[in-house]
Amino acid sequence: MIQESADREGFARDWHLVHYGSRAVGGAGLIMFEATAVESRGRIMERDLGIWDDRHVAGLARIVSFCQAQGAKVGIQLAHAGRKAWSRSNGVGPEEAVAPSPIPFDEGWPAPHALEPGEIEDLVRTFAVAAQRALAAGFDVVELHGAHGYLVNQFLSPLTNRREDAYGGDLNGRLRFPLAVVAAVREIWRGKPLFMRVSATDYAPGGIDLPQMVEIARHLKAAGIDLIDVSSGGTLTVAPAAWRGYQIPYAATIRREADVLTAAVGLITKPETAEEVIRNGRADLVVLGRELLRQPYWPLHAARELGVEVPWPAQYERARRY
């Protein structure tokens, strides 16, 4: 969940140490750092975390080390916002946004720069170098952000990719950039879990739908992705109706039909819901966002509700027992 709390050069601050550290103390098994920009023009918002500079590593490593010392595994989302970036595309930022095609995100947004093939190759290397920095910072997991209408998603969706070269056209063409990113990052991230977050549907005619995403997931698995983190929407400004657990069926379908590990997300708030998803094999991981913003110690309370004994931090033991 983006915190928009870095400084203007993308450096982590004390807020991030307390924010992520609290979830580690609260019993989260895996903490995923927010969408972290692989280059400055790829920030979603001005104060996003960055991993585009070697100098970012030390601040990230400090937080990772603390969270791991509490027993949590720690991941990072490597992200590039493409046409949705905090940039001149929305009239306020310092840099020109880029995208597969020069299609504005919304009314009032100028058209982004359509990437040339050589620039696309440069971006593949940019993701790989970011993964190298994540390795240096000690992260356990890398997740490539391919959802919510950001750059990787923009290449995948026919609504935003109108290219007529090797990076566009049919599904194989639209997959060319995402698969190149996966391959480049996998080369760096050897023997460690590599996830990708996807949007299972664009919620719009002519866009990605669930059957297409099943086929995309098959390609991602073959390229080296270990788990698909299944969200939805974001390519357009269309907001779908949402209810508790509304995206779980997407994760279940992709898991079953693409034979790949999945994570279920989307307004999951109740321990019994999370338990049911895992117990019935609808997904392999349950991911909480908003609920962990509200309740940093949700995992400890959830375990108690489900009748499972888990260790609490020694400093908090008196609160667990009495």
Structural domain span for residue 117: 14-321
Task: Give the predicted TM-score (pTM) of the model.
Answer: 0.96
User: Which residues of the chain are modeled with pLDDT < 70?
Assistant: 88-94, 322
Note whether residue 8 is domain-resident. Answer: no
Residue with tokens 């019994």: 272
Closest CA to 73 of 18, 143, 145, 148: 143
Measured CA distances, 235 to 115, 238, 280 (Å): 18, 8, 31
Looking at residue 75, what DSSP letter applies?
Answer: E
Note whether residue 3 is domain-resident. Answer: no
Residue with tokens 């601050």: 13
Looking at residue 302, which CATH number applies to its domain?
3.20.20.70
Note whether residue 298 is domain-resident. Answer: yes
Q: pLDDT tens digits, residue range 49-85?
A: 999 999 999 999 999 999 999 999 999 999 999 999 9
Q: Return the pLDDT at 88.
A: 63
Q: How many domains does the chain have?
A: 1
Bridge partner list, 75: 32, 141
CA–CA separation, 116 vs 125, rounded Å? Answer: 15
Query: At 73, is the secondary structure helix, strand, or coil?
Result: strand
Note whether residue 18 is domain-resident. Answer: yes
Note whether residue 5 is domain-resident. Answer: no
Note whether residue 174 is domain-resident. Answer: yes
Note whether residue 209 is domain-resident. Answer: yes
Residue with tokens 């270990």: 226
Q: Return the pLDDT at 89.
A: 55
Q: Return the pLDDT at 86.
A: 85
Q: pLDDT tens digits, residue range 188-232?
A: 999 999 999 999 999 999 999 999 999 999 999 999 999 999 999
Note whether residue 120 is domain-resident. Answer: yes
